[in-house]
Every structure is written in structure tokens, then in C-alpha cells.
Amino acid sequence: MLSACGSSSLSPSAPAGGSSTPAVVQADPALNAKLPDKIKQAGVIQIGTDATYKPNEYMNGTTVVGMDVDLFDAVAAKLGVKTNWNPAKFDSILIGITAAKYDIGVSSFTINSKRLQAVTMISYANVGTQWASPAGNPKGVDKDNPCGKTIAIQTGTVQDDEIAATNKDKCASDPINVLSYAGQDEVNNAVAIGKADAMLADYPVTQSAIQTSGGKLVALGDQYGAAPYGYAVTKENQSFADAIAGALTELKKDGTYDAILKKYGIEAASISTFEVNPKV
């Protein structure tokens, strides 16, 4: 019987260690058969991830950990292979996939039409955006009218796109001063120290930033605009995408999927159908 475990070490040469999934996952030979020959022969999926996006993917010493790591390690185990997590800048990951540097991108990618033009995506959760400010909202930021404020975002995210559109459509005469950072940890810090008036990020990420800020950050309203997260593979990798969707379906059935989301307090992001290139 096939079996697998995941390695989330920073070092590509590090031996595979046990994943932090809540239960042993049994591999499915039929799903393994759908994998690209390169992955079957290596027995390892090379993953590109931006490990600054707590709680989804972040560094614990030299190890990448988080919800996405737990979940995709379980996917890989179901596929009968191991994982190797390669930290990278968020806006370089899709480029790395198309250049064959990575087999897949697992980095809280929101599925949108722009990304679907470049890669094939497999949905695995549904998440919205939430804003946060320094405690007390000293600059009086209104998330629905942030014109003239200094707002921090991570480069290349859907929030980056949202602020650009807001500047064009709403704030042309009094533009938002955008502080764009490569890593989400830098975004969080900019707001915590008062360099930025507010930030916006995916709901679990904003919640994590607030909960670990020692009272320095507070939420500005609820999440909105929920959209699917997706894994990204090359357009030529349809069979790989189908295998991943099949693995997610099996993990949903046996309870592993929901247990992982519950572990990170994001049960509301759970979905029941895992689609390849869903309509968005």
C-alpha cells in the first residue's frame, strides 16, 4: 500500500518529516496514477509558497507551517508522495510554476480571471478580505472610503488589485498612499507601528495579525467579498489538477479536511466541492 508524509523544511535537501495533519492519511493508488511522471519518479511534489502569510503559511524556525501546509501535506499523502516546501516571494510563484521551478503553487491564491489565464487552479476553500487598523483607529479610516489614507498591502495580492481599482474609481482626486510590501509580516508591522493607517488582507491572515499583535491591531468591519482559494499548476497539468481535486474530495469524506480547517479556526472557509478552474 502506498504511504507518504510531508516535509516542510526550508532546505530542499532536508529529509521528509511527519506532517502535522490530524490523522494518518492512506494513499490512493488510482489518484497516484494520475500524477505527472516527473512527480511519480521523484516521489516528491515541489511547492512554491510565500511563508509570510500566517496562519496559512509561515515560518517556524526553518520550517514552513500553517493551514495550507497541513492541508496540502494531507493531499500529497493521499496521492502517495511527499512534499517539499520552497519559500518564495508571493509575486514570483506563478512565474516559477510556468518556468517549471515548482510543480505547484500553494500560497493562499485567490482564484480570479487574471490568474486563470496563466495557470490551472483547483479550489480548496472560500475566503474574504478584512481590514485592520491600529488600536482605536487613530486616523479614522473608513474602509468604504479610504481616500487620502496610507494603506499597507502585500504586493501581487487581490487586495493590491482592490486598492489600485479604488484609487482609479473612487480616489482619483485624493489618492490612497499605498505602502506595498513583499511579505505580509511587513504589512502587519507597518500598521502596528503606525507607519500605515490601515491594512487589508485575507480574513484568516487579518485575524491572525490581530490576535498576535498584543492589542496593537483591531478589525475594521467584517470580512467581505468571499472568493475561492486555489492551488496553481501549469495549464498542461490537467491530470495533476484532477488528482488533487480527487484527493481533496476523499479528505472531505474522511473528515481530515474539516479537521484541519477547524484546527486553525477557519471552519467558515470550508467547501464541499473542489473544482478545477471554477467560474469566478
Q: What is d(CA 91, CA 184) in angstroms, rounded to the nearest whole number?
A: 12
Domain contains 276:
no
Domain contains 17:
no
Helices within the chain (DSSP H only) = 29-32, 37-42, 67-79, 93-98, 113-116, 158-169, 184-192, 203-211, 238-253, 256-263
Rg (CA), the chain: 19
Residue 8 has pLDDT above 70, yes or no: no
Q: Do residues 151 and 40 both lie within one domain?
A: no
Residue 36 has pLDDT above 60, yes or no: yes
**Which grid cell is 218?**
483591531
Residue 65 has pLDDT above 90, yes or no: yes
Query: The domain spanning residue 34 has which CATH number?
Result: 3.40.190.10
The pLDDT of residue 21: 45
Domain contains 94:
yes
CB of 163 closer than 8 Å to CB of 177: no
Residue 57 has pLDDT above 70, yes or no: yes
Q: Which of 7-11, 100-104, 206-210, 272-276 has the lowest mean pLDDT?
A: 7-11
How many domains in the chain?
Answer: 2
Domain that holds residue 263: 29-127+227-269
The pLDDT of residue 24: 85
As a whole number, the mean pLDDT across the chain is 92
The pLDDT of residue 233: 99
226: pLDDT confidence band, cut at 50, 70 and 90? Answer: very high
Residue 27 has pLDDT above 80, yes or no: yes
Q: Which is higher by pLDDT, 150 or 12?
A: 150
Q: What is the 3-state secondary structure (H, E, C) of 76-137?
A: HHHHCCEEEEEECCHHHHHHHHHCCCCCEEEEEEECCHHHHCCCEEEEEEEEEEEEEEECCC
Q: Do residues 162 and 193 both lie within one domain?
A: yes
Pairing of strands 104-110, 82-87: unpaired
Cα–Cα distances (Å) from 14 to 41, 77, 265, in that order, read: 18, 18, 30
**Which grid cell is 51?**
511563508
Residue 101 makes CB contacts below 8 A (sequence gap 6+) with: 46, 48
Residue 74 makes CB contacts below 8 A (sequence gap 6+) with: 6, 19, 21, 25, 247, 251, 256, 257, 260
Domain contains 258:
yes
The pLDDT of residue 16: 34
The pLDDT of residue 265: 84
The pLDDT of residue 139: 98
CB of 203 closer than 8 Å to CB of 128: yes
Q: Is the pTM of this model over 0.85?
A: no
Between the CA atoms of 180, 119, 103 and 226, what dihedral angle is there, to the nearest 10 degrees?
A: 60
When pLDDT is averaged across residues 57-72 and rounded to a whole number, the result is 97
12: pLDDT confidence band, cut at 50, 70 and 90? Answer: very low
For residue 225, the 8-state DSSP code is E
Question: Which phi-psi region, left, alpha or beta, contains residue 140 (left: φ > 0; alpha: ψ -120 to 50)?
Answer: left
Residue 81 has pLDDT above 50, yes or no: yes
Q: Do residues 261 and 235 both lie within one domain?
A: yes
Domain contains 4:
no
- Helices 184-192 and 203-211: crossing angle, nearest 10°? 50
The pLDDT of residue 151: 99
Q: Do residues 81 and 194 both lie within one domain?
A: no
23: pLDDT confidence band, cut at 50, 70 and 90? Answer: low
Residue 11 has pLDDT above 50, yes or no: no
Residue 19 has pLDDT above 70, yes or no: no
Burial 211-223 (b: 16+ CB within 10 A, else e): eebeebbebbeeb
Q: Do residues 57 and 85 both lie within one domain?
A: yes
Residue 111 has pLDDT above 80, yes or no: yes
pLDDT tens for 91-104 read 999 999 999 999 99
For residue 22, cis peptide bond before it (omega within 30 degrees of 0): no
Name the percent of the chain lying above pLDDT 90.
89
The pLDDT of residue 80: 98
